[in-house]
Structure 1
């Protein structure tokens, strides 16, 4: 594969409204300072081999609406000057080696600057070793924010209650981190469609406020330390298609209400301490592809209507 060096002239983008270099694989070198880009609205440089720091001069592209630097080799801090991009709508820097603005306490100062971007709809910083904790001022981000992804970022600490201020959120993905504490009740965001908190160290019960998510399509709380019961009201979320509660410490009976989710595709409840006080009547689940109840404390007759599962691809019910 050929490698192409990005030139210093790229920093002078006078007259451009769109710069898309994602089609050139193997583009190398540093991103030069942006010196003159009064009309640049879209900058897409993802999936190359660009390295070095993201210069503070990125803010000189003052009309920028979309910035995607994902899947490169960028390192160093995420610039605090991003907040000067007042028209920014999408910010994506996935899979680099970027850190927060402070090497001492790993404070997410870049996130504080993004609170000035009132049109921001997407933030994706997944796959960067940001470390630190999620700051309370995450709740000050734009009410337009719909997608917030910080997966595999080595984040620790609690999920701040202030996250409930982001009332238009559609997707919240914080999986594969080191988050601890309880799932805040404020996370019951009315418009949320996908909630991913898997592979953390979250404890406590599953909050019943999640049942208020009437548009929820995917709920992934697997691989945590959650205990107590599975809220029966989860069976009222008729939009739910994917439910993952595996590898926790849940100890209730499997709620009968789950078998009312006739359009659900996958239910994974394995590796808990669940028991059954009745046979599992899954015959109404006309679209079910995966049902995993394995490694629990289920006994006796588990399935009373196995024959009705016409679409089932994977069934796992073996127990300890």
Structure 2
């Protein structure tokens, strides 16, 4: 199962190892040993030369301007940000860019995760044009993301999570040309999100635990991301039908704890490589689409705390990779024998429904007049849907729902 928390430290170390292989410095005049400059330790390795890149003065300007905007530094990071050797600053990582002399180092990564720094992000940070990674998780930065961040032309990972940033969705992040990882979790951003978010080449999109609202843009299906987390916001409206036409790269999508309504799109079965789907704690209605049976790689399927109804069918409970199926606190009226077997092989929580003869169900009066019972009415198929390619819309053939192009008989 894909870990939605994304282990940032291993990613950082992997990139730093790559960068350090480019930053091999000749030590002691003849022979040579590779030395990584900085490593966030606040000390410079012995015999390491002072950086002398064309952007050296700009890097000093950027970091010193940022230092002046830090109002609280409980762990003493800024105490090491003294003098011209920026590669010795704690949390700063330098590397030799391709095609330059070994003595020419640039600031390639900043990792200040869990530093508990208080302050703001300054516009001068855009002067760090060689920066590839900016990780600021778990600090106390407030204010907004400077518009000058669009000039960070080499930035690939931006982690601003768990801070106190606010304002509308920072659209400037979508102007960073090489960005593939965007993490804005646990801040105070509000308002709608930009449709352009799903047209960029982002591989990871983390927006959960903010105050975003409005509808999820209709072009959600254009995203090429492998992980999308929009949970714990205030999104309203229906799930975009384009959800079912996302690329095979999608492994995990978390939409829980919003205010979403309407049906689960039939096209969700197109997401044949998805491992985690969580739409719990919304107001989704109607029956489950048969196409869910095409989710062969699904491990976690959480539909809890909605207004879904009908039967939980065999085709859902026989998914081969299923580890956890949660349908609690809906209005389901029954489930099949196959679902019963999940008690012994996977987590299966069906409490708080309207299933006769089962414990921990709703009181009978609550099961009269199921909310949205006339919406998303689907006639159960006599056989499972045929799971086909994702490039075209499906349809019904001989009473079965066909995902992908319908193939006519010769």
- Kindly indicate whether the alpha-carbon contact (under 8 Å) linking 1:217 and 1:241 is maintained by their aligned counterparts in 2: yes
2:170 maps to 1:99: no
Indicate the residue corresponding to 2:41 in structure 1.
none
C-alpha deviation, 1:41, in angstroms:
1.1
Q: Report Cα offsets for 1:252-309 as digits up to 9, x if no partner.
A: 2112201221321100000001112x64323765983311011111124x7xxxxxxx
Output the CA distance in 1 between the equivalents of 2:339 and 2:199: 43
Counterpart of 1:56 (choices 112, 123, 128) is 123
SS across alignment from 1:234: helix
Indicate the residue corresponding to 2:189 in structure 1.
130
Q: Cα gap change, 1:251/1:209 in structure 2, threshold over 3 Å: closer, same or farther?
A: same
Indicate the residue corresponding to 1:3 in structure 2.
74
C-alpha deviation, 1:193, in angstroms:
0.5
Counterpart of 1:295 (choices 322, 345, 352) is 352
> Which has the higher Rg, Structure 1 or Structure 2?
2
Indicate the residue corresponding to 2:279 in structure 1.
221
C-alpha deviation, 1:140, in angstroms:
3.8
SS across alignment from 1:263: coil
Counterpart of 1:249 (choices 304, 307, 327) is 307
Counterpart of 1:282 (choices 331, 339, 343) is 339
Q: Report Cα offsets for 1:81-120 as digits up to 9, x if no partner.
A: 21111111111011110013xxxxx3x2x32x22332322
Q: When the two structures are superposed, what TM-score results if normalisation uses the length of structure 1?
A: 0.80
2:377 maps to 1:319: no
SS across alignment from 1:180: strand
RMSD (CA atoms):
2.6
- Kindly indicate whether the alpha-carbon contact (under 8 Å) linking 1:194 and 1:218 is maintained by their aligned counterparts in 2: yes
2:344 maps to 1:273: no
Aligned length: 278
Q: Cα gap change, 1:271/1:4 in structure 2, threshold over 3 Å: closer, same or farther?
A: closer
C-alpha deviation, 1:8, in angstroms:
7.6
Indicate the larger mover: 5-14 or 90-99. Answer: 5-14
Q: Cα gap change, 1:286/1:155 in structure 2, threshold over 3 Å: closer, same or farther?
A: same
Output the CA distance in 1 between the equivalents of 2:199 and 2:231: 22
C-alpha deviation, 1:10, in angstroms:
2.8
Aligned pairs for 1:1-320 (under 5 A) are 3-7=74-78, 10=81, 16=87, 20=91, 39-100=106-167, 106=168, 108=169, 110-111=170-171, 113-141=172-200, 143=201, 145-166=202-223, 168-188=224-244, 189-190=246-247, 191-276=249-334, 279-282=336-339, 285=342, 288-300=345-357, 318-320=360-362
More helix by share: 2
- Kindly indicate whether the alpha-carbon contact (under 8 Å) linking 1:17 and 1:42 is maintained by their aligned counterparts in 2: no
Q: When the two structures are superposed, what TM-score results if normalisation uses the length of structure 2?
A: 0.63
C-alpha deviation, 1:156, in angstroms:
0.7
Output the CA distance in 2 between the equivalents of 1:16 and 1:288: 53
Unaligned regions of 5+ residues in structure 2, if any?
1-72, 94-103, 363-410
- Kindly indicate whether the alpha-carbon contact (under 8 Å) linking 1:263 and 1:286 is maintained by their aligned counterparts in 2: no
Unaligned regions of 5+ residues in structure 1, if any?
23-36, 101-105, 303-316
Output the CA distance in 2 between the equivalents of 1:3 and 1:259: 52
Q: Cα gap change, 1:137/1:262 in structure 2, threshold over 3 Å: closer, same or farther?
A: closer
SS across alignment from 2:81: helix
Q: Cα gap change, 1:81/1:19 in structure 2, threshold over 3 Å: closer, same or farther?
A: farther
Q: Report Cα offsets for 1:208-258 as digits up to 9, x if no partner.
A: 222111110000000000001111211221100000000000012112201
- Kindly indicate whether the alpha-carbon contact (under 8 Å) linking 2:333 and 2:356 is maintained by their aligned counterparts in 1: yes
- Kindly indicate whether the alpha-carbon contact (under 8 Å) linking 1:243 and 1:266 is maintained by their aligned counterparts in 2: yes
- Kindly indicate whether the alpha-carbon contact (under 8 Å) linking 2:153 and 2:177 is maintained by their aligned counterparts in 1: yes
C-alpha deviation, 1:11, in angstroms:
8.1
Output the CA distance in 1 between the equivalents of 2:105 and 2:166: 28
